[in-house]
Amino acid sequence: MNLPLVFRAACLSGILFLSLSAQGQAPKKPMQKVTSKDGTTIAYEKSGKGPALILVGGALSARAGNGELVQLLSPHFTVYSYDRRGRGDSTDTKPYAVEREVEDIAALVQAAGGSAYVYGKSSGAGLSLHAAASLGDKVKKLAIYEAPYSDAEGAPKEWREFRVQLDRLLAAGRRADAVTSFMKFTGAPDKVLEEMKASPAWPGMEAMAPTLAYDNAILGDDRRVPVEVAAKVKVPTLVMDGGASLGPMPFMRATADKLGKAIPNAQRRTLEGQAHDVSAKALVPILVKFFD
């Protein structure tokens, strides 16, 4: 296994966005807020014009990381970029359940006028899948990129061991160690970890460490592809993976194929040359065409 490649593919997008945010390079729009069903405040930014499109990020990501994607989508859609609960300017309410995050998306949909397109990436793709299965036609169309489920041999055991370790670290308040555990699970070499700990991104990552358990809950007890949930998604869905992910993370292709077959009204597409850190310039034309 090429660990640097796996690390870049699995984590670089969120880490880079956090780093840019910490250095004040990500563009900012006026923050707005909506209240979720359980009283949690969800912070979001609204940009552009046209049909509503909600962006759902993955692990250790916040709305500040969506700058380029929002900019390119805004001429076509009214884009809602938000901080998932426990991140950025959003609050949090215990106990956590995946259903609460679905309710957060429902609150954003309501703020958008009662229906919206949804795009989710990585574990955010998993959350988007749950939302589409639960919210029915309030989600008009769904696009997901590389939901990191895996039915590969040995994957469930490795996942359960990682979850136990992460939960213990978070329970002890060891946020830095929790982020380190997550990064090592995704393949981060020690040298890269040390560089990240010295970067402006690190404090923001530590602040969001408790939400790693939320992403783990979304992916489930064993991280297997949730075909039962996928079968409940009735709206048109675009299931994507990146061609460059096939080498370092072959499970992404298998997962996308399986989700594409399980979702009744799904299209499958591989973005050639793209890894988990998908280029906004490569992605946006595909989203515009699909959501049109």
First-residue to last-residue Cα distance in the chain: 40
- Model confidence over 110-121: pLDDT tens digits? 999 999 999 999
Domain assignments of the chain as residue spans, ordered by start: 30-153+224-291
Quick one: angle between helices 212-219 and 155-171, nearest 10?
Answer: 150
Q: Which fold has domain 30-153+224-291?
A: Rossmann fold (3.40.50)
Instruction: Express each pLDDT in 270-285 by its tens digit.
Output: 999 999 999 999 999 9
Residue 153, helix vs strand vs coil: coil
- pLDDT surpassing 90 at residue 22: no
Q: With 60 as the cut, is the pLDDT of residue 25 above it?
A: no
The separation between CA 152 and the C-alpha centre of its own chain, rounded to angstroms, equals: 21
Which structure tokens are listed for 204? 């923001």
pLDDT in tens, 119-167: 999 999 999 999 999 999 999 999 999 999 999 999 999 999 999 999 9
- Residues 75-99 pLDDT 10s: 999 999 999 999 999 999 999 999 9
d(C-alpha 205, C-alpha 208), whole Å: 5
68-93 burial code (b ≥16 CB/10 A, e <16): bbbebbbebbbbbbbbbbbbbbbbbe
pTM over 0.85? The answer is: yes
Instruction: Look at residue 104 and tell me whether its pLDDT is greater than 60.
Output: yes
What is the structure's pLDDT at 29?
A: 78
* DSSP state string for 242-278: EGGGTTT-THHHHHHHHHHHHSTTEEEEEETT--SS-
Alpha-carbon torsion (10, 60, 17, 71), positive or negative: positive
Higher-pLDDT residue of 21 and 220 is 220
Q: How far apart are CA 214 and CA 85, in angstroms?
A: 9
136 DSSP assignment:
G
Q: What is the pLDDT of residue 28?
A: 66
Over residues 100-108, mean pLDDT: 98
